[in-house]
Amino acid sequence: MATHWAIDLGTSNTTICEDRSGRAHVVNLPELAKLEPVTQTPVMPSCVCVMDSEGEEVLIGQQAVTYNWDGRATGFARGFKRYLGRESGRAMARAGGRVFTAQDVASLFLREVIGTLEARFGEEVADITIATPSGFYETYRAELQAILRGVKRRGWWERIRALLWRKPGIVFRTLDEPVAAALGYGVDVGRPTTLVAFDFGGGSMEAAVVRTHGARTVETGRAEVLAKQAVELGGDDIDGWILERFVPAALHDWPEWEIALRWEAERVKLLASAGNEGHFTFRNESYGRLDYHVLHDILVGNGLYERIRELLDTLLGELRIRHGVPAGDIDDVILEGGSTLLPEVRNVVGDVLGREKVREWLPFEAVARGACIFAGGAHVEDFIYHDYAIRLLPDGDGDPEYELLIPGGTCFPTVDNFVTRYYAPGFDGQQHINLFICEVGRVAGRPVQWTERPNRSRYFVPRTAGERAFCLCLNEADPALPLSPPGRGTAPRLRVTYSVDVNRWLCVTVHDLHRKADLKVRHPVVRLR
């Protein structure tokens, strides 16, 4: 079976996927990539450092960033993606008296990536899919195709051997980034669907409403963009806000310190976003502590959340005015870009577009993974991404704990009795029992560690503010289940079976063991993501 390779060529970072084993896997090239601290996804900085005028000696990824630690390398270039297709001749770097354009730099970057993959895996990279932004012109795709043809051009003897053996040339595909992300998140684009792709990266914040057209989208990888909005605000700006909060203004005027200060700001930002604590340290001096709450205050003070709401409100207005499509017709919301990991960003997006519609966080790998799935035939089985649990409130002032009901990865629909639980009254005379269903997200980009107890049920007790922020109760406003007559003793009173229907609704059947009567039958409670 041919190996499909997929590249998410990002403005700030690039992610690579392969399916050599029949399933899409993110590729880690340790010499070029870094492990993103929050999600532990291997990402390669989209950076190039040209060392000579011929472009023979080139550093890319983390090697280029490390070489340019002081920001003074004239051959260093980043952000070349945004210029392909509309300003590909823009000067990006200089080395040995030669100017390297955006097209040159992109070609060198992809040349080194492909060469590294071939050396690492011992096989030719002959099938490549690259995801492209929906709003980019067709010339962007043409530029990528021309670059890859140039990268894969062999010498004369290699060309003769290919002709003699009738070896096919490189297979190159593109598909829209929102479609790739949807596939990577588990959205079935084989049926018509309307989704919002919210992309918040290092340099900008963008949101697009995309409509897929069933089989035609799966075949072509293209979708219709109904509305799109963007603002020039990204993770780099948040780093600047952190510097303003912690670092004396006098230090900002030293160019040789700028790179190191930015790296430190990014480091503590990622720690705080994951619910941990970091001390901003520069030249062996600590300038303050940044945790989840302090970072949240910085974002509030600089108006980040208002900017997100304004962007999405404008997007929905454009959608309604131009196409007559109401917000309620949006089926799914997918998040892209590392800045979506910032405190409360996901919740703010969910508040505007509907929290039940927001898919799991895979900000660094969904696009590459989806592009790989597309290359392999785009067969997607829809499943639940997050864990879902019932919140149990202990006696006294103890911390609430969460008992797992629907683990992430569950395919749906399930059988009616997928999970069965028995609940006893907490005290004599109790007249109501609540079933608080909670979504338990990924802490620091990773699933929580559930602890199995002797009853074989699994539990999680959050200990930090960051962990508690990822446990969202979805139905606190629902009425409690009545106990009539009131509960007495410690024997189980209610039998509750949980299931997930074809539309992702968590449904419950509640049976009162004392009265021998059903209180609810396959009653939908919350819609899972």
Give yes or no for a contact between 345 and 38, defined as CB atoms under 8 angstroms apart: no
Q: Which of 464, 443, 467 minimizes the C-alpha distance to 386?
A: 443
DSSP state letter for 358: B
pLDDT higher at 409 or 437: 437
How far does Cα 373 stand from its chain's mean position? 16
pLDDT band at 159 (very low <50, low <70, confident <90, very high): very low
Please report, for residues 194, 214, 355, 482, 526, the alpha-carbon distance to residue 435 in angstroms, rounded to integers and kept in the order given.
Answer: 32, 37, 19, 11, 11
pLDDT of 166 reads: 40
**Tokens encoding 189:** 């684009």
pLDDT of 1 reads: 60
**Angle of helix 304-323 versus helix 292-301 axis, rounded to 10:** 60
Q: Can you tell me the distance from the alpha carbon of 302 to that of 394, in angstroms, rounded to the nearest whole number?
A: 38
If you average pLDDT over residues 474-495, what whole number do you get?
92
pLDDT of 276 reads: 86
Q: Cα angle vertex 90, ends 89, 91, to 5°? A: 115
Average pLDDT, the chain: 85
Q: Can you tell me the distance from the alpha carbon of 275 to that of 466, in angstroms, rounded to the nearest whole number?
A: 4
| Amino acid making up residue 292 | Y
Q: Is the pLDDT of residue 231 over 90?
A: no
Say which residue the tokens 């609940």 belong to: 423
Of 293-302, 338-347, 389-398, the range with the lowest mean pLDDT is: 389-398
E runs forming strands in 20-118: 25-26, 34-35, 42-45, 47-50, 58-60, 76-78, 91-95, 98-101
pLDDT band at 155 (very low <50, low <70, confident <90, very high): very low
Over residues 258-282, the pLDDT tens digits come to 777 887 888 899 889 888 888 998 8
Q: Cα angle vertex 120, ends 118, 125, to 5°? A: 20
pLDDT of 383 reads: 65
Q: Is the pLDDT of residue 137 over 60?
A: no
DSSP state letter for 342: S
Collapse the DSSP code of 245 into the 3-class scheme (helix H, G, I; strand E, B; otherwise coil) and give the result.
helix
Q: Can you tell me the distance from the alpha carbon of 499 to that of 527, in angstroms, rounded to the nearest whole number?
A: 11
If you average pLDDT over residues 224-236, what whole number do you get?
83
Give yes or no for a contact between 197 and 367, defined as CB atoms under 8 angstroms apart: no
pLDDT higher at 153 or 441: 441
Over residues 368-379, the pLDDT tens digits come to 988 888 888 765
**Angle of helix 366-375 versus helix 177-185 axis, rounded to 10:** 90
Q: Which of 13, 43, 27, 50 minimizes the C-alpha distance to 117?
A: 27
pLDDT of 382 reads: 57
Q: Can you tell me the distance from the alpha carbon of 189 to that of 175, in angstroms, rounded to the nearest whole number?
A: 13
pLDDT of 161 reads: 42
Q: Is the pLDDT of residue 395 over 90?
A: no
pLDDT band at 429 (very low <50, low <70, confident <90, very high): very high
pLDDT band at 252 (very low <50, low <70, confident <90, very high): low
Give yes or no for a contact between 488 and 428, defined as CB atoms under 8 angstroms apart: yes
Strand 25-26 to 13-18 pairing? antiparallel
Q: Is the pLDDT of residue 385 over 70?
A: no
Q: Which helix (H) or strand (E) holds 373?
A: helix 366-375
Q: Can you tell me the distance from the alpha carbon of 55 to that of 95, in angstroms, rounded to the nearest whole number?
A: 8
Of 12-26, 306-320, 343-357, 420-434, the range with the lowest mean pLDDT is: 12-26
Q: Which of 179, 110, 172 minimizes the C-alpha distance to 142?
A: 172
Of 145-154, 301-310, 427-436, the range with the lowest mean pLDDT is: 145-154
Q: Can you tell me the distance from the alpha carbon of 156 to that of 169, in angstroms, rounded to the nearest whole number?
A: 15
Q: Can you tell me the distance from the alpha carbon of 461 to that of 440, in angstroms, rounded to the nearest whole number?
A: 11
Give yes or no for a contact between 368 and 7, defined as CB atoms under 8 angstroms apart: yes
Over residues 496-523, the pLDDT tens digits come to 999 999 878 999 999 999 999 999 999 9
Q: Can you tell me the distance from the alpha carbon of 204 to that of 137, in angstroms, rounded to the nearest whole number?
A: 18
Q: Can you tell me the distance from the alpha carbon of 505 to that of 122, in angstroms, rounded to the nearest whole number?
A: 46
Give yes or no for a contact between 34 and 14, defined as CB atoms under 8 angstroms apart: no
**Angle of helix 235-246 versus helix 255-273 axis, rounded to 10:** 100
Domains with residue ranges and CATH for the chain: 5-187 (3.30.420.40), 189-358 (3.30.420.40), 387-527 (2.60.34)
Q: Which helix (H) or strand (E) holds 316?
A: helix 304-323
Specify which residues 60 forms β-bridges with: 48
Indicate the pTM of the whole model. Answer: 0.66
Over residues 74-91, the pLDDT tens digits come to 999 988 988 887 788 999
Collapse the DSSP code of 62 into the 3-class scheme (helix H, G, I; strand E, B; otherwise coil) and give the result.
helix
**Tokens encoding 517:** 């009567």
**Tokens encoding 507:** 């449904």
| Amino acid making up residue 154 | R
The set of residues, in sequence order, having a beta carbon less than 8 Å from that of 354 and lying 6+ positions away, is 327, 330, 333
**Tokens encoding 503:** 């539309």
Over residues 193-205, the pLDDT tens digits come to 899 989 888 777 8
Q: Is the pLDDT of residue 420 over 60?
A: yes
Over residues 306-360, the pLDDT tens digits come to 999 999 999 999 899 989 999 999 999 999 888 998 999 999 999 999 988 988 6
